[in-house]
């Protein structure tokens, strides 16, 4: 599977959000990553339904919604209605994870589970066959622009091995500190979706950076 690029609008210019979404539409990005934070599960607040709906209105790429919130079950239908194609919840926030995943699928969305840096991959063994996506957090969730955690490579390899055994079509997504220094290595380890926020939106040539992350052989030119 060729890997996908999902730029995170958390790092976009919210004074020019439509402009940035239109740039993503024209770029080689595959998904648009939408980070939702509630100030409880993570120590930051980002945005909710209104901003997600605006992104959906202008986007031509699927919305990859990442819920960093407590009790996400309350809001699954709301984010589906706001335009989510994928909904990812955190393992650490879902006491009845199997039920949550089934509800996401019943809504017609792809269902994902995110793991914080301290959560072992083995926690997903009993649900791996039900998932469309696993998101490995390569920073502690809550803020953009953090430094990449090196143990991520090991976790990506572990989830790739688990997926090869039980769910070979699984999307393995990495979120946090992804840039041109680690993109190729993450893909080599088994990731097939890369979320990039600061690396894209702080770049002088955003579309070229997206293209470079999509085609790592181009990164040497950036």
Q: What is the DSSP string of the chain?
A: ---EEEEBGGGS-GGGHHHHHHHHHHSS---EEEEEEBSSSSS-B---HHHHHHHHHH-SS-EEEEEESSSGGGGHHHHHHHTEEEEEEEGGG-TTHHHHHHHHHHTT-EEEEEE-TTS-GGGGTTTGGG-SEEEEESS-TT-SSPPPPTTHHHHHHHHHHHHHHH-TT-EEEEESS--TTTHHHHHHHT--EEEESHHHHTSSSHHHHHHHHHSGGGGGG-
Say how far apart CA 200 and CA 197 lie, in whole Å: 5
Is 35 one of the annotated active-site residues of the chain?
A: yes
Catalytic residue among 35, 38, 64, 132: 35
Catalytic residue among 20, 30, 38, 175: 175
Q: Which residues are catalytic?
A: 35, 175
């Amino acid at each position: 599977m060729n890997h996908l690029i999902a730029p995170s609008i958390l790092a976009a210019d919210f004074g020019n959000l439509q402009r940035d979404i239109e740039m993503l539409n024209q770029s080689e990005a595959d998904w648009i990553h939408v980070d939702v934070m509630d100030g409880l599960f993570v120590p930051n607040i980002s945005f909710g339904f209104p901003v997600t709906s605006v992104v959906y209105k202008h986007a031509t790429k699927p919305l990859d919604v990442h819920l960093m919130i407590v009790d996400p079950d309350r809001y699954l239908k709301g984010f589906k209605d706001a335009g989510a194609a994928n909904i990812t919840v955190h393992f650490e926030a879902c006491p009845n994870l199997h039920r949550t995943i089934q509800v996401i699928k019943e809504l017609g969305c792809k269902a994902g589970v995110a793991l914080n840096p301290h959560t072992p991959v083995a926690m997903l063994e009993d649900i791996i066959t039900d998932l469309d996506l696993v998101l490995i957090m390569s920073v502690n969730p809550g803020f953009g622009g953090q430094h990449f955690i090196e143990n991520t490579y090991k976790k990506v390899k572990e989830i790739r091995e688990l997926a090869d055994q039980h769910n070979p079509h699984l999307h393995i997504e990495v979120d946090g500190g992804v840039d041109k220094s680690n993109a190729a290595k993450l893909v080599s380890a088994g990731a097939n979706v890369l979320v990039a926020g600061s690396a894209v939106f702080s770049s002088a040539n955003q579309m070229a950076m997206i293209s470079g992350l999509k085609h790592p052989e181009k990164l040497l030119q950036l």
